[in-house]
Amino acid sequence: MESIDIHFHVVPPAFVEAVRRGEFADVVHIERRSGTDHMLFHAPPDVVVEPGSALDPAEHEVPLIVEGLNRRQLDAAVIGPSPGLFFYWAGPALGARLAGALNDGIAAMVRAHPDRFIGMGTVPMQDGALAAREVERAVTELGLRAIEVCTHVNGVDLDHPSFTPMFAAVERLNVPVFIHPQNWGDMRRWKSHHIWNLVGFPTETALAAAHLILGGVFEKFPRLKVVLAHGGGYFPYQVGRLDHGYDVRPELNEHLPRHPSEYLGGIYCDTLTHSGMALRYLLERVGDDHVVIGSDYPFDMGYDHPVAMVRESGLGREREAKVLGKNLAKLLGIG
């Protein structure tokens, strides 16, 4: 596989059918409006749900998904659930059922197209023990090769002790964690100009990466590997500020025996920077072997031509080959 994408959203067809049957009616249902199916979530009032609820056929109709791969010149993609499907706000038992259904659906897609799809699962992060259990099942029974989590869990950051079982499980099983942002909290200053996505998502990713490092998660799990969406957000471009803070602020020494930049070995970023200049800097900052393709399929803030973007960035043949697929294949333990 020459080109592999880590950032490729799907809604498994089997999950769509389960929702249509009303299996998860307490939290989500599908409604037809003006000729378009909408997936409507019954989240608590304090939960921020992304605007727009249309169920895009490109997310759940497999022929369209394969066509999307071909159009982007991708040999394969790591398919994972759209961020709206994390369902962390559901009760733990229901969250586990939802994650299980999504993972079963993703595994079925992989079985049907093993040459094009690589499975990435979701887990019920609202309960660390249940999350660890679903990691174990997803990897050892379903054959999924990565786990996707949000930048926070109901506003709780990823260095919280309750998530320790999940991180222990992924480290033990040697599977990477793909971290995808979703906004939280007071959205009043993020509503206009699509800023909730344009600025909110990169900010969320920077917060998550900072918590993983400064909160001691990488220190506790030195073999942990995470992939940050959207080029790492703002994180890669301010690592020097974290190092300076480590030198002058005593509270940064609480969990860390080393500078924050010394934990970059566990961090990978996708290519979704929308800038060749930013991509070249990213390669210098996190390393040639720590950047992988991310297209954000099928959303409008993604890349329609992720392979061409890499090839047009002037990286040189060896670096280009690493970013297009070699880095991700090694990370996933395939080929």
Alpha carbon 152 to its chain's center = 12
* Residue 173 DSSP one-character state: H
**Spatial contact of 229 and 299, defined as CB atoms under 8 Å apart:** no
Whether 52 shows a pLDDT value over 80: the answer reads no
**pLDDT in the model for residue 291:** 98
DSSP 310-322: HHTT---HHHHHI
Chain segment 158-204, per-residue pLDDT in tens: 999 999 999 999 999 999 999 999 988 778 898 899 998 999 999 99
User: Does any domain span residue 264?
Assistant: yes
Q: Is the peptide bond before 176 cis (omega within 30 degrees of 0)?
A: no
Whether 38 shows a pLDDT value over 80: the answer reads yes
Q: CA separation (Å) from 196 to 1, 177, 297, 316?
A: 35, 23, 19, 35
User: Does any domain span residue 42?
Assistant: no
**pLDDT in the model for residue 204:** 96
Q: Which residues lie below 8 Å from residue 71, measured CB to CB, with a gap of 6+? A: 304
User: Does any domain span residue 41?
Assistant: no
Residue 31's H or E segment, with its range, is strand 28-33
**pLDDT in the model for residue 186:** 79
Whether 92 shows a pLDDT value over 90: the answer reads yes
User: Does any domain span residue 310?
Assistant: yes
Per this entry, what is the length of the chain? 335
Helices (H), the chain: 13-20, 57-60, 62-71, 92-112, 128-140, 164-173, 195-198, 200-214, 217-220, 239-248, 276-286, 306-311, 317-321, 327-332
Whether 45 shows a pLDDT value over 80: the answer reads yes
Task: Give the C-alpha separation, 140 to 135, whole Å.
Answer: 8
**pLDDT in the model for residue 112:** 98
Average pLDDT of the chain to the nearest whole number: 95
Beta bridge partners of 146: 120
**Spatial contact of 258 and 281, defined as CB atoms under 8 Å apart:** no
**pLDDT in the model for residue 185:** 79
**pLDDT in the model for residue 86:** 96
User: Does any domain span residue 162?
Assistant: yes
The number of distinct structural domains making up the chain is 1
**pLDDT in the model for residue 108:** 98
Question: Residue 263 — pLDDT band, cuts 50, 70, 90?
Answer: very high
Domain that holds residue 285: 4-12+58-332
Q: Which of 50-59, 89-98, 172-181, 205-214 has the lowest mean pLDDT?
A: 50-59
Whether 306 shows a pLDDT value over 80: the answer reads yes
**pLDDT in the model for residue 188:** 84
Copy the structure tokens of residue 273: 């920077």
Question: Residue 63 — pLDDT band, cuts 50, 70, 90?
Answer: very high
**pLDDT in the model for residue 1:** 85
Whether 51 shows a pLDDT value over 90: the answer reads no
Whether 48 shows a pLDDT value over 90: the answer reads no
**pLDDT in the model for residue 248:** 96
User: Does any domain span residue 327?
Assistant: yes
User: Does any domain span residue 123?
Assistant: yes
Question: Residue 47 — pLDDT band, cuts 50, 70, 90?
Answer: confident
Q: Is 40 helix (H, G, I), strand (E, B) or coil?
A: strand
Global pTM reads 0.97
Give the pLDDT mean for 76-81: 98
Give the pLDDT mean for 44-61: 86
Whether 255 shows a pLDDT value over 80: the answer reads no
Share above pLDDT 90 across residues of the chain, in percent, rounded to a whole number: 90
Q: Which of 187-191, 202-206, 265-269, 324-328 has the lowest mean pLDDT?
A: 187-191
User: Does any domain span residue 286?
Assistant: yes
